[in-house]
Amino acid sequence: MTDLIRGGSLLPARRENIELSTDDGLTLVGELSLPLERDPVATLICLHPLPTAGGFMDSHIIRKAAARLPALADLAVLRFNFRGVTSPRGTSEGSFGHGDAERFDLAAAVRFAEQRGLPNRWLLGWSFGTEVALKHGLAHDVVGAILLSPPLHRTSDDELAAWAGSGKRLVVVVPELDDYLRPAEAEQRFALVPERELVAVEGGKHLWVGENQTFRVLTEVVERLNPAALPLPTTWPGA
């Protein structure tokens, strides 16, 4: 029986609970999801929304990326709790670092992906996670970063401008009705990076609630990492 893919759908994948070790001595908890019967063609390293506002590795877009994209697009999805964050998977050691100490968390995640030989690594940041990606992502061997609902609260103009000419791709997905940064202002702020790709999503909101918005976000991700997998299926046997 083929069913519609909905918010709670969990498609087949090889899933493994993992731990990340940071350079400042913390252990972070996470999960690696891989295609069930094939090697991944690309890798998402997911950076979740603001911990002090309830963000964690199960924030819905990140959870759904891990639930669907290994099966639908042959992607590896690595997600984890930033320092001090709790989810059903467990609690990462440490305490909230305001986007600065999280550089160690990002480094640990990229190092893990490198050690596992995961290919074509991309950062996927959402809200607070975009700040961590922008502030610290350039130091790492990644293809680029996809930013969902970037607030640009913690990222300085100098940190943003450093992406210009870096050779790393920057894809900025901005909801029309965002609470913090809407498309017109995003065009101005991200003008510091002339080669960035800015995607304005009509009717989109900061939290990307609803299956239509989820589908749009995941489509934008797959378009960059494995466009041959598009269009994404909307049904799956037993979904």
Name the residue range of residue 109's domain. 2-237
Per residue, the 3-state secondary structure of the chain, as one string, reads CEEECCCCCCCCCEEEEEEEECCCCCEEEEEEEECCCCCCCEEEEEECCCHHHCCCCCCHHHHHHHHHHHHHHCEEEEEECCCCCEECCEECCCCCCCCCCHHHHHHHHHHHHHHCCCCCEEEEEECHHHHHHHHHHHHCCCCEEEEECCCCCCCCHHHHHCCCCCCCEEEEEEECCCCCCCHHHHHHHHHHCCCCEEEEECCCCCCCCCHHHHHHHHHHHHHHHCHHHCCCCCEEECC
pLDDT tens-digit series, residues 176-222: 999 999 999 999 999 999 999 999 999 999 999 999 999 999 999 99
Residue 23 has pLDDT above 90, yes or no: yes
The count of domains in the chain is 1
**CATH code for position 227:** 3.40.50.1820
pTM of this structure: 0.98
Residue 10 has pLDDT above 80, yes or no: yes
